[in-house]
Amino acid sequence: MRRGEVLALSGQSGTLGPHLHFEVRDAGNLPLDPLAWGFAPPDTIAPAILAVRCLPAAPGVRVAGSDGARLVATGTPLDGTLPPLAVDGPVAFTARVLETADAAGHRLEPWRLSVTLDDSLVHEARNDVFDLTAQGFMRLEWLQLADGRERWLMRREGNRQAGRRGGEWSRDPAVLTPGEHSVRLRVEDRAGNAAQVAWRLAVAAPGTAGGESAGWRPAPVESPGGGPGSRLTPFCEHGPAGVAAVAPGPYAAVPATLAAAEARRALRSQGLVHLGWALDVHSPDWCRDEPVTLPLAAGAADSLDAGVGLYVARDDETWGRVGSPRREGALWTVAIGGPGRYALFADRTPPYLGPGPAEGIVGPGPAAVDPAVTPPRWEILALPLDDRGSGIDPATVGVLLDGAALTPEPDPLRDRLLVELPDDLPAGPHRLEVAARDRAGLAVERVYRLDLRP
């Protein structure tokens, strides 16, 4: 490999945009950390530990004399010894960590994060290899908060990510025994830069924890997975009064209603007709091999047809289709893959397929910019293709040129379809046929008369 040599041509067939994907893989075809294989830029920036949090991990547990979470954060990276902390039962620790390698601030995963209890390793997360088939278990690596994520300082039950050692040590009374302990957190990057903090942890018998621990301030956990007025973690839920209730299950599904304004907005902006069924699904974290299947409420299936789908609310106040109701015996069910606000909508509006080039005229392609790369002979057609409701189904997009099939290149991020004409296509008139369907099965077709002019 030499400087200036063409490594690849960046296309977007089957992707969501042009990009070049580069990996280093081992003999088992697992991606390796390229920083360890000769692709590491100079790195003098140490990881930063921005905050450490302690949460009760069972109902009734107090942290620093309180039934809520406590946090150490100063606004600058933590270093050295943190204030001592007192607890009276199972707890869970998280940390907010920032790892960068350049002045632009591009974020990386730390190469190694370790936790020791009284100088014994109780948790380690090393990122030497990444198994794409287990990437869903990354959800068990962090606590999702309204303003970002914090790392669990333990290996959660069920986490199958490579490079993880230890268990839920701070929830295990056989490991975190009553008495005085020393906890140390260390974060390292591949270049050898590191950050480290340590603190004394006093563990008392249940109900006998001491008072305030100076320096650990109250920090309620406001998780997006919780319901109104609740604070939900994987271990316990705090109601409006702040008192821990029973530990929640993996999720809670609560029937909901859409406000009239929400339904009108979905109809006006996306052409979606609300069918009267909605559900709020709350979860402290979500890591499942299979989607959860929920029954529809009585009467919700009365108007089901091919155009009806299950939609989830997005952050921008739009709705995205995630699946279709299906019949199992006498019951209609829907499958969901995570927490969120769900509703049934009917999509009655077919996709939009816009006009082609002005007067059908197609000119020559771009001039060559590199002698090693031959540009296309003809300009690439960008045809508007959009569906605001259920969304274009890329698998249904078909293109015929003079009756022969071409490979389509949907570009959903830009609401268009790219058509690259063959280099050996002669100048003159040609017929281009395009067809597509949305995820509700509604179709659109259009014929374009092209005139190729060199």
pLDDT in tens, 230-261: 567 888 776 655 545 555 567 778 888 899 99
- Of the chain, the percentage scoring pLDDT greater than 70 comes to 89
User: Rounded to an integer, what distance in angstroms lies between the CA atom of residue 208 and that of residue 198?
Assistant: 24
Q: Is the pLDDT of residue 298 over 50?
A: yes
- Give the CA diameter of the chain: 89
**What one-character-per-residue DSSP string does 71-96 give?**
EE--SS-B-EEPPPEEESS-EEEEEE
State residue 54's pLDDT score.
96
Q: Is the pLDDT of residue 207 over 50?
A: yes
User: Rounded to an integer, what distance in angstroms lies between the CA atom of residue 52 and that of residue 45?
Assistant: 20
Q: What is the pLDDT of residues 378-391, one digit of tens each?
A: 999 999 999 999 99
Q: Is the pLDDT of residue 9 over 70?
A: no
On whether the CB atoms of residues 185 and 77 are closer than 8 A, the answer is no
Tokens 């690596």 belong to residue = 141
On whether the CB atoms of residues 340 and 252 are closer than 8 A, the answer is no
State residue 364's pLDDT score.
96
Tokens 């490594």 belong to residue = 7
State residue 200's pLDDT score.
96
Phi/psi for 171 (5° steps) reads -100, -5
Residue in 191, 1, 173, 159 with CA at minimum distance from that of residue 88:
173
DSSP state of 317: S
Helices (H), 86-218: none
Q: Is the pLDDT of residue 89 over 70?
A: yes
Torsion of the alpha carbons at 448, 449, 453 and 454, rounded to the nearest 10 = 50
Torsion of the alpha carbons at 386, 392, 398 and 400, rounded to the nearest 10 = 0
State residue 240's pLDDT score.
55
State residue 324's pLDDT score.
87
Mean pLDDT calculated for residue range 3-11: 68
Q: How far is CA 403 from CA 20, 382, 398, 416, 422, in A?
A: 33, 20, 11, 22, 14
pTM to 2 decimal places: 0.77
On whether the CB atoms of residues 195 and 185 are closer than 8 A, the answer is no
State residue 134's pLDDT score.
87
Weakest-pLDDT range from 130-139, 258-267, 436-445: 130-139
On whether the CB atoms of residues 40 and 32 are closer than 8 A, the answer is no
Count of other CB atoms within 10 angstroms of residue 140: 19
Mean pLDDT calculated for residue range 388-396: 94
Q: What is the pLDDT of residues 311-356, one digit of tens each?
A: 999 989 999 999 888 877 777 888 888 888 999 999 999 999 999 9
CATH of domain 352-452: 2.60.40
Which tokens is 377 given?
Answer: 């002979």
Q: What is the pLDDT of residues 129-187, one digit of tens each?
A: 998 888 888 889 998 887 889 999 999 988 999 999 999 999 999 999 999 999 999 99
State residue 65's pLDDT score.
87
Q: What is the pLDDT of residues 401-410, one digit of tens each?
A: 999 999 988 9
What's the whole-number average pLDDT of the chain? 88
State residue 243's pLDDT score.
47
152 compared with 291, residue with greater pLDDT: 152
315 compared with 360, residue with greater pLDDT: 360
On whether the CB atoms of residues 385 and 435 are closer than 8 A, the answer is no
State residue 114's pLDDT score.
98
State residue 241's pLDDT score.
55
On whether the CB atoms of residues 341 and 278 are closer than 8 A, the answer is yes
Q: Is the pLDDT of residue 270 over 70?
A: yes
Helix (H, G, I), strand (E, B) or coil at 229: coil
- Give domain limits for the chain: 38-238, 252-347, 352-452
In terms of C-beta density within 10 A (0-12 exposed, 13-18 middle, 19 or more buried), how is residue 355 classed? exposed
State residue 231's pLDDT score.
64
Weakest-pLDDT range from 18-22, 69-73, 78-82, 292-296: 18-22
Count of other CB atoms within 10 angstroms of residue 258: 19
